[in-house]
Amino acid sequence: MSEQRIELLIDGYFYSGWKSARVEVGIEQASGAFDLSTMDRWQQEQQSWPIYPGNACQILIAGQQVMNGYVDTARPRISKQAHGIRIVGRDKTMDLIDCSAVHKSGQWKRVKADRIARDICQPFGIEVIVDGDVGAAFDSFNIEMGERAFATIDRAARMRGMLVTTDGTGKLRLTRAGTTRATDSLVEGENIIDAELEHSWKERYSEITVKGQGKGDATTFGAKVAHGVASAKDDVINRYRPLIVIAEQHGSSPTFKQRAEWERNVRRGRSTIANIVVQGWTQKDGSLWRPNTIVSVQTHRLGIDQDLLIARCGYATDEREGSFTHLKVVHPSAFEILDGIKATRLGSRIRGTNGLEDSSVDKDKYQSRNRAKGGGPSGSIIDFRDGQLGGPFR
């Protein structure tokens, strides 16, 4: 088994021995992020590490590559007795998040989503890989005024039912919610050392109504298609909370009923989130915990006994608590994508702004490790699909 450490590779040199380190990757993050710090006492003839913004780099955890990108910020520090450096960076795909989308006239005709992604990524030197069918070609697709590169790609991909993420080697991946299972389960009393369950009704509504204009033909026209409307109810929400959504497009897009049901289902899926911490970064077989994998979660005190999707992994280490992995898990319906839809208007509670929650990888969420957590009534199970209490824990 590879040595358990986080390594930064720059110009053939491996840097490790961090006082604190955090690396974060996720299913809807177009770019992973890392934040590494070290501080040591001076030794005779010792030189500072030659690490600068713009350095190409790789991040390896337990010998397995999780990121291929660049240093964003380097902060060397000295004192009378010690020296150190803090290094912050992101995946190669960071440039798609930061930079504008540029492509000739900014318009494509009769091309598929992967072609749009490749055309935008080509000047950045970023390869695009695709999992499965990307769906039908667009009759016409335009870059919106001032739009960032990632936003354009993400919009095209979602209109064809795909997610945009990175593969850990600097490539952009068009994919869907995964079905591959993790080797280990997450079990209270075995490998779960800290867990928190979050329920929220903030982004849920008693009834969601979708309105828009359908596409007419020789037999269907006028009022029949001019004012399309359909709704879906969320029976869990027991007070009046209506939401009206304007359909993105007409024509071959999903029916308004499908659109309303999808909006309801995704909001349900994202209303219940579990944050789980395990010791170390690897599973029993030596493989890293990875996002976009299915894992069995069993914790009696939080009322969870269900297969869930790992949405995000945060690998961390510090001198006080050693190495650990922070896992954010949700019901797979949270990442359900409906062909023809740009995105739900749900707030970015999982992926964060533009696919990257925080380029500095927030320290606080890795440092609250000894809290008392509570779920539903003792012995009951939470259904992550809709947030309701189910039957007794088996």
Residues 221, 293 within the same domain: no
Instruction: Please name which of 237, 227, 229, 230 lies closest in space to residue 206, comparing C-alpha atoms.
Output: 237
Q: Give the helix/strand (H/E) hosting 146.
A: none
Q: What's the token pair of residue 311?
A: 């949405």
Under the banding of pLDDT at 50, 70 and 90, the label for residue 293 is: very high
In contact, 103 and 119? CB cutoff 8 Å: yes
295: in domain: yes
Residues 195, 250 within the same domain: no
pLDDT value for 103: 93
- pLDDT by residue (tens digit) across 26-60? 987 889 999 999 876 545 545 678 899 999 999 99
297: in domain: yes
Residues 36, 79 within the same domain: yes
Residues 332, 214 within the same domain: no
**Cα(237)–Cα(249) distance, rounded to whole angstroms?**
28
**Cα(283)–Cα(304) distance, rounded to whole angstroms?**
20
CATH code of the domain covering residue 285: 2.30.300.10
Residues 291, 185 within the same domain: yes
Residues 261, 277 within the same domain: no
Instruction: Please name which of 173, 169, 181 lies closest in space to residue 289, comparing C-alpha atoms.
Output: 181
314: in domain: yes
- pLDDT by residue (tens digit) across 352-370? 433 334 434 444 444 444 4
Answer yes or no: pTM beyond 0.85.
Answer: no
pLDDT value for 248: 62
Residues 237, 330 within the same domain: no
194 pLDDT above the threshold of 90: yes
107: in domain: no
Q: In total, how many domains does the chain have?
A: 3
Instruction: Please name which of 288, 228, 235, 222 lies closest in space to residue 259, comparing C-alpha atoms.
Output: 228
301: in domain: yes
The last residue of a domain, from among 36, 64, 91: 91
125: in domain: no
pLDDT value for 361: 44
Residues 321, 372 within the same domain: yes
pLDDT value for 137: 92
The last residue of a domain, from among 60, 91, 122: 91
Residues 314, 231 within the same domain: no
Grouping H, G, I as helix, E, B as strand and the rest as coil, residue 186 is strand
Residues 332, 185 within the same domain: yes
Q: Which domain holds residue 250?
A: 207-268
Residues 262, 295 within the same domain: no
Instruction: Please name which of 101, 134, 137, 107 lies closest in space to residue 120, comparing C-alpha atoms.
Output: 101
Strand partners, 106: none
Q: Which residue matches tokens 């800290």?
A: 194
Residues 194, 315 within the same domain: yes
Question: 188 — phi, psi (to 5°)?
Answer: -60, 135
Degrees (nearest 5) of the Cα angle 367, 370, 376? Answer: 115
In contact, 123 and 101? CB cutoff 8 Å: no
49: in domain: yes
- pLDDT by residue (tens digit) across 195-247? 999 988 999 999 999 887 665 554 554 555 556 788 999 999 999 999 998 87
DSSP string covering 245-259: EE-S--SSSPPHHHH
150: in domain: no
Instruction: Please name which of 151, 154, 176, 170 lies closest in space to residue 32, comparing C-alpha atoms.
Output: 170
The last residue of a domain, from among 268, 295, 320: 268
- pLDDT by residue (tens digit) across 294-343? 999 999 999 999 999 999 999 999 888 899 999 999 988 888 777 666 65
